[in-house]
Structure 1
Amino acid sequence: MSEQYDLTPFIGREQSAHDIVDPERLIRLAALLDRSWTPSDAIPPLGHFLLFRPDERQSNIGPDGHPVRGPDDLLPDIPLPRRMWAGSRIRFERALEPGMPVFRKSRLEKAVAKRGKGGDLVFCTVAHEIRAGEGGPLLIAEEQDIVYRGAHTGAEPAKRPSIDPDFTAQEVHSRVVGPVELFRYSALTFNAHRIHYDRDYARDEEGYPALVVHGPFLATLLFDHLQNVTRGRRISAFAFRATSPSFDGEELVFGATVQGDEAKLSVTNPSGLALTGTARLADG
């Protein structure tokens, strides 16, 4: 385990933010998923990922497109430049409603430094609570896992792991995600990380052979697939974990197996498992 990072001062830090469930964002998310949406419809898949978007001033944006981390921020101020949203565990307590004012309280629950084959790693878990206004009822509870890694070294792109899913999906759907979809999702979430739109940066600085598909976008497409398989049945909990990166131009296969109120989920790319997930379905 790496001992060079003192993460203790960061654990327990909190941040809060206000937003409004803006129908314009939801219309655009639905459009990205190739459908229409009106305020009388259910919120599009994982629409809460469009809330509480970053608003950092341009002068505080780092070379990778992320805001520069400071000593007073929620996430640790450590010299590991590469960042990945590695997974989430989400509970949907109540439905978001268009135009609703919402309040999010975030807390850094865990920060652990480790030493991997490729160098130092820091794993952070951030807990979010989204409520219907400050002090209002809980709408969504989520734990997000964020991983920090050192800079890529070597002339060749990093090799992806080859992992097989641990189940055979009963319902599958395949699609290719291109640079236009990646740009539109980055714009929707105001995510300026250059690995999603700057091919030269992704290759030369972070060691990827092509543009990287956002983990949350993959999760959104997987959630959408599950909703289609279950014909809109309400999903009360959803969890996903990224296992290897996926790139633009690849065929991605979204899989689901539903047994009663439980679902097993997967996304595979040409190298193997890219994302694994589970879901719990409500009665009815």
Structure 2
Amino acid sequence: MSASDRASTSEVRTERITATTVEAYRGTFAAADAALADVDVLPAAWEGVFFPFDAALADLRPDGTPARDGIIPEIDLPRRMYAGETTEFLRPIRVGDDVTRRASLGSVVAKNGSRGRLVFVDVEREYAVDGETAVRTVWHDVFLDAADPDAPARAPRPDPAVVAEADWQEELTLDARQLFRFSALTFNTHLIHYDRAWARDVEGLPDLLVHGPLTRILLMDVARRNTPGRVPVRLDVRATAPVLVDRLLRIVGRTAGDTTRVTAVDPDDVVLATADIDWEPRA
């Protein structure tokens, strides 16, 4: 892809960080946090609740994800999954700020895996307040071949040491109401989050999938609550296994110096997602 092609695949939008949307997220996923009002600092990663998908219905793929969004080229693979995200926090965003987000296409890499073709796509986003970049993030997606119902399931790989060596942990169980609310907040129409028949029969999952971008925010939220007073400068999230609805999720963490490793594990100690958070050095 040429530099001119990349330059044409971009989008610029401006949106106000409203207390209404902040409260909708807080009241559903972070009720222990204090309510926020104008000029309060937006918690790190909550920018991901804003700038909902806006592809027209005619521009959606059969699975509900955008086929044509002005950024990612059309890819002839039927499944799309969130693989992780790398975020830099450069300055605070506050409730009431008008934020301009520029989204553009990053790398596009095609590979052949043991279960067919894959295309890895990055979307680069910058969130600016008054012309100054506040947050810079790279969203990692992977497009896959159709699921093979006859393919043997991958054996889970428990890692009990992750939990045993943790400094702290929190437990939660996400239900279908919460998945619906996050889909509504972000205008995410991916069927895998609300259509059980699609999730099971087409995607080959046991149940509805928790949104990867939601898991990202939850990992950051738990780390923030358990490391009071620290200011994040970087968040690197990697999704490694499905996070499923109505199943106990444990989020555990361990801090070494100015870095915290946060891990989401299931009741059998299988690692589902990992985040490394770098904090500002202590004074």
Q: How does the TM-score come out when normalised to structure 2? A: 0.89
Deviates more, 1:81-90 or 1:9-18: 9-18
Q: CA deviation at 1:102?
A: 1.2
Contact 1:45 1:223 (8 Å CA) reproduced:
yes
1:50 to 2:49 alignment: yes
Asked if residue 110 in structure 1 is aligned to residue 97 in structure 2, the reply is no
Q: Distance in 1 between matches of 2:50 and 2:155?
A: 31
Question: Structure 1's 67 and 109: CA in aligned 2 closer, same or farther, altered over 3 A?
Answer: closer
Amino acid at match of 2:133: L
Determine helix, strand or coil for the equivalent of 1:153.
coil
- How far 1:108 sits from its partner (Å)? 1.7
- Does residue 22 of structure 2 align to residue 23 of structure 1? no
1:83-120, CA deviations, whole angstroms, 9 ceiling, x for partnerless residues?
11211111111111122111112222211000001100
Q: Distance in 1 between matches of 2:153 and 2:97?
A: 44
Cα contact 1:11–1:111 (8 A) shared by 2: no
Q: Secondary structure of 1:27's partner?
A: helix
Matches within 5 A, 1:12-91: 13-32=9-28, 33-35=30-32, 36-39=34-37, 41-69=40-68, 73-91=70-88
- Deviation, structure 1 residue 156: 7.1
Q: Does 1:261 pair with 2:258?
A: yes
What is the CA–CA distance in structure 2 between the aligned matches of 1:178 and 1:120, rounded to whole Å? Answer: 32
Pairwise CA distance, 1:278: 0.5
Query: What count of residue pairs does the alignment treat as equivalent?
Result: 274
What is the alpha-carbon distance in structure 1 between the residues aligned to residue 230 and residue 55 of structure 2?
37
Shift of 1:163: 5.3
Is the Cα contact below 8 Å between 2:17 and 2:96 reproduced in 1? yes
Deviation at 1:160, TM superposition (A): 6.1
Q: Show CA shifts across 1:44-103 (max 9, x none).
A: 452101221122233333321122337xx3112111121112111111111111221111
Q: State whether residues 88 and 144 of structure 1, in contact with CA within 8 Å, keep that contact through their aligned partners in structure 2.
A: yes
Given that residues 43 and 96 in structure 1 are in contact (C-alpha distance below 8 angstroms), is that contact kept between their aligned partners in structure 2?
yes
Q: Which moved more, 1:205-214 or 1:155-164?
A: 155-164
What's the offset of the Cα at 1:232? 4.4
| Alpha-carbon shift at residue 251 of structure 1 (Å) | 1.3
Change in Cα spacing, 1:163 to 1:170, as seen in structure 2 (3 Å) is same
In the other structure, the counterpart of 2:277 is 279
Whether the aligned pair in 2 keeps the contact of 1:74 and 1:108 (CA below 8 Å) is: yes
Deviates more, 1:18-27 or 1:44-53: 44-53
List runs of 5+ in structure 2 lacking aligned partners.
none
Residues 55-204 of structure 1 mapped to structure 2, 5 A cutoff: 55-69=54-68, 73-133=70-130, 136-154=131-149, 158-159=153-154, 161-162=156-157, 164=159, 167=162, 168-204=165-201
TM (normalized to structure 1)?
0.88
Equivalent position to 2:216, from 203, 211, 219? 219
Counterpart CA distance in 2 for 1:22 and 1:229 is: 26
Cα distance in 1 for residues equivalent to 2:244 and 2:216: 14
**1:144 & 1:59 partners in 2: Cα distance?**
24
Give 1:42 deviation, angstroms: 3.2
- Match of 2:274, as an amino acid? T
CA-based RMSD of the aligned residues comes to 2.2
| 2:21 alignment partner AA | R
Amino acid at match of 1:83: R
